[in-house]
Structure 1
Amino acid sequence: MKSFTSLKLLLSSVVILFTLQACGGEEMSENSEDDTPIIPVEVSSVSRGNISAYYSNTATLEAEQEATVVSKVRGIIEEIYVEEGDMVQAGQVIAKIEDDQYQIEADRAKATLDRLYNDYQRNKELFDRELIAAETFQNSQFEYESQKATYDLAQLNLEYTSVRSPISGVISRRHVKAGNMIGTDQPMYRVTDFTPLQAILHIPEHEMSKIRNNQRAELRVDALPNEMFIGHVERISPVVDSETGTFKVTIYVDETKDMLRPGMFGRVKIVYDTRENTRMIPKSAVISEDLAQSVYVIKDSLAFKKEIQTGYTNGSNVEVINGLDDGEMVVTIGQGSLQDSSKVSVIESL
């Protein structure tokens, strides 16, 4: 009897042991299901705003009006009145050439002119009274008119000894010094008008339908990386260069902020279309695979992959035409570790 009781106790212990082991296995199985990794990601919400499409190219700034001042007479430079960087007005005297010789020539021409004028007047009176032949009168008239032209030329050369600026602007270069001997048509100064400055673009012909007069243009130059300057399309050439397949577009810079100078190298963007109040997401959220584009959308701490259709790209943002709703959260950093329905933990971006 005691043996049977002992056997019964032993069997009960074994059953209890197996039951406990089975329960422990179920708990381990449940724990293993909860061990799915949680992936940290950064997110951004779908927002609304304006986004533009633009054509971008590089160009060197130029002054639309620039003139080289040359000497119109030969002589020694007596005075230099302006230096590089000085502002000048159109017609302002900027240098003086010695004029002694030209003054003497003008005085001599004037004396001869006065004598011939008296002869002409006397012969005219005699001719009117029919006391001299017509040929004599006409010869005196021709001599007087010829000498008048000689006097006018002498006066003009005398005036040219005062060198004047042909345009208003800034002296951008001085080629001569006081005391130099200068010849006719020799460069003396270069005058540059900084208003307006322009950028010349040569744009591929397939972009011609997008470019119009007065379109907004944005300019950034390497020398001033933190500044943006606004301009507009001033002129569009109506012909395409058959050798390069491009057409010429002239951009005027409307506001130089007194910081831009001719010769600066810049990047120009012509804005040819703007969509207002459109959906946008950061460009870093978009995954491009073959011809398809998609994003990961966060919902209830899970990441779901959704295909989208994008439009314009501007800076760090991209337009979403369809596939997303306002306010949805998309993954911007961490997509490479995600699969559809992955568990995620949203972290704040620094």
Structure 2
Amino acid sequence: MTRLLIAAGGGGDAITAAVVHTALHGAGTPALVLTYAWERLVVDPVPGPRRATDFTGTEAAAPDLALVTPRTAPIAPAGSLIPRLAAGLEPRLGLLDPYGGTRGLARQIRAAARWCRAGRIDLVDVGGDIAARGDEPTLRSPLGDALALAACAATGLATTVYVAGPGLDNEVPLTELLPRLGPPAFALTAPHTEGVLPVFDWHPSEASALLVAAARGVRGSCGTRDAPRPVLLDDSACQVHRLTLDAALALSPLARALAGSTSLDDAEAASREVCGFSEIERERHRAARPGPPHRPHTPHPSLASRGSRDAETVLARFTAWKRDLLADGLAYVTSRRITEDLGLSAPEARSLLGTPRAAASPRRAAPLWGLA
């Protein structure tokens, strides 16, 4: 039997699903993770999720089941890091296509369960927006999670919901989220993360990086690109909460509203009704703006120039930049915050600054960057 897991959100949840799978079933246990190819505009400039026809090289393992392999590639202008994740993660990856709404997703999940010979599903969310009411002012991306939850309910298969790293996605305030989730079921530790650690040398996921860092013992305040306020890594940040399917559905008005939906348009309409917005519509607006995607942080003045890229210049800029962040009380930053604030690509950052997991690095706090 191959274990069947579903990553409730985008690529970052697929990484978290691999970590949770290791904690639950052990490294080396065969697993399939179903995930959306629904990534930020910095990765995929086309708004909304991708479907199998947006890729070449997927493997049709069964009707309604498309597997992603390292040879899979997005068709331009779409972009995706899911094929690279397929090469970097131990579980196999399958594609979730939400364009048929909850009913279409349920067909895909049933097909995957037959292929895996699995009688149950582990649904994994990092951060906790799967438990959102829909009216939280900081909520940004509940639709994928709610669709996955509603689809699991529609399959009739036994489903357990795992919320890892509550609050790390900065969507539902931790003070509101923890009472909904109840006591943690277990905590992730460093050995659970070994298989995914190299992925963060190139993958921009922030919530999963925060979770992995917390599991590896990193504690303190971390600055992210994706939210205006820092994230505090404490002992709760590496905990995993276990919910029954019924309990998770009771927490999510959006998932209940999505029951029986047959298209992504239906799902967007339900999101507008419950949450007051559609995240896909927001992506369309952002994609239509001239210039690069919106970024909430303004680079330090000494980093504004994109002139010389030599190591001495970048290190001098990095020193000035981190001095200001330390003064603001931050101990760590994500790789995405570093690359966007310094105006570097991920390969340039690795070349000029090293990697946060390099043994000789004074900033070692893998997969985050230490500022002290």
Instruction: Give the TM bin, normalised by the shorter chain.
Output: under 0.3
Larger Rg: 1
Give me the TM-score of the superposition, normalised by structure 2: 0.18
Give me the TM-score of the superposition, normalised by structure 1: 0.18
Structure (1 or 2) with the greater helix fraction: 2
